[in-house]
Amino acid sequence: MSNKILPNDPCWCGSGKKYKKCHRRFDIETEAYRKQGYTIFPPKLLKSAQDIEGIRAAGVITRGILNMLETEVKEGISTEKIDNLVREYTFDHGAIPAPLNYKGFPKSCCTSINECVCHGIPDENRILQNGDIVNIDITSILNGFYADSSRMYSIGDISENAQKIITVAKECLDIGIEQIKPYTRLNNIGDAIEPHAQKHGYSIVRDLCGHGVGKEFHEEPEVVHYAQARRKGVLMVPGMVFTIEPMVNEGSYSCDFLNDGWTVLTADRKLSAQWEHTLVVTETGYEILT
C-alpha cells in the first residue's frame, strides 16, 4: 500500500492527515514483519480513535452491569432474574444487550454455572445454590459499538477447589493481558496463559477462543489461549481491538456442546472458570476498555 501512496497524499485510513504523518511508518514496519512470515491484520479492520472512544463508552455500561451484579448475584436468585436485571440496566442506559436474539440466542446475557464453560442460557428454574460459581458474560452495544466482558461470582460458601480455579482463571486473564505489545505475536497470549494454568493442574479450552470486537459482536482476529510456540501468526498492531477470555477447566479441556445450540459443558463435568476483557493495542502497550 505504501508504494502506491505519495507521502503528501491523504492517508488511506481516512484520518484526513497526510500519509507521511499518519500510517506511512506503520506500513513500512508491517511490511518488514510480513516478509518475516507474520500475518498482518487487515488495516480496514483497525479501529480509529473515534471508534475506540465509542467502544470505551460501551465498556462503561458493560462494566457497570457487572459491578451492579456484585450485590445482586446471591443464593436463591434465578438466572432468569439476573437476565432481567441485565436487560433493564442496559436499556436504562441507552444501550442494547448484544446477546439478545443474536443468532437466535433468547436472553440478554450468558450465565454459566459450575461445569458450564460458557453460553449458559438464563432460566427461571435455575436457582443459584450455596457453593455454586457462575460466570456472567455481558456485551453491550452503544451507538453501534460493542464491548464484551465477563466475571466470576461466588455463591455463599464455595469449596477450596472452586476458589482456586476462580483465582487461577483471573491470573490467566491478567497474564494474557500483560503480553499485549505492538509489533509482537498475538500468539504470545496463549503461550503465556497455558503454562500458568498447567502449573496449577488445569487445562485451557481449545474449542473456543477470544475474538475481535468493536463494530460487530465477533470480528477478526481469533485469540487462542493455549500455546502455539512455533507459529508466528498474527502481528499485534496499534488499533486492534479484541477480547482475552481464557476458559480454564479443572479436568480435561474437552467440551460437550449441547443440543440447544449454545450451552457448552466440560466433557468430564468438572468445574470451569473464565474472566474476560475487551482491550485495544496502543502505540505503547494496551488499554482495557471494559
- Residue-wise pLDDT for 176-197, tens only, equals 999 999 999 999 999 999 999 9
Q: What is the mean pLDDT of residues 55-83?
A: 98
pTM of this structure: 0.93
Q: What's residue 2's pLDDT?
A: 42
pLDDT in tens, 79-129: 999 999 999 999 999 999 999 999 999 999 999 999 999 999 999 999 999
Q: How far is CA 146 from CA 36, 265, 289, in A?
A: 33, 26, 10
**Portion of the chain with pLDDT greater than 70, in percent:** 99
Predicted pLDDT of residue 3: 53
Minimum mean pLDDT among 23-32, 59-68, 243-252, 258-267: which range? Answer: 23-32
Tens of pLDDT along 8-30?
898 877 778 888 888 887 888 88
Interacting residues of 230 by C-beta distance below 8 A, sequence separation 6+: none
pLDDT over 70 (residue 149): yes
Give me the pLDDT at residue 1, please: 43
Query: In angstroms, rounded to a whole number, what is the distance separating the alpha carbons of residues 44 and 37?
Result: 20
Mean pLDDT of the chain: 95
pLDDT of residue 13: 78
Residue 208 or 11, more confident: 208
Tell me the C-alpha distance between 225 and 121, whole Å: 24
Q: Which fold has domain 34-288?
A: Creatine Amidinohydrolase (3.90.230)
Closest by alpha carbon to 188, among 149, 143, 225, 139? 225
Q: Are 67 and 34 in contact (CB under 8 A)?
A: no
> Which pLDDT score is estimated for 116?
98
pLDDT of residue 233: 94
Are the beta carbons of 69 and 82 closer than 8 angstroms? yes
Q: What secondary structure letter does DSSP report for 285?
A: S
What pLDDT score does 23 carry?
81
Q: Residue 141 forms beta bridges with which residues?
A: 96, 146
**Averaged over 41-54, what is the pLDDT?**
92
Q: Is the pLDDT reported for residue 42 higher than 90?
A: no
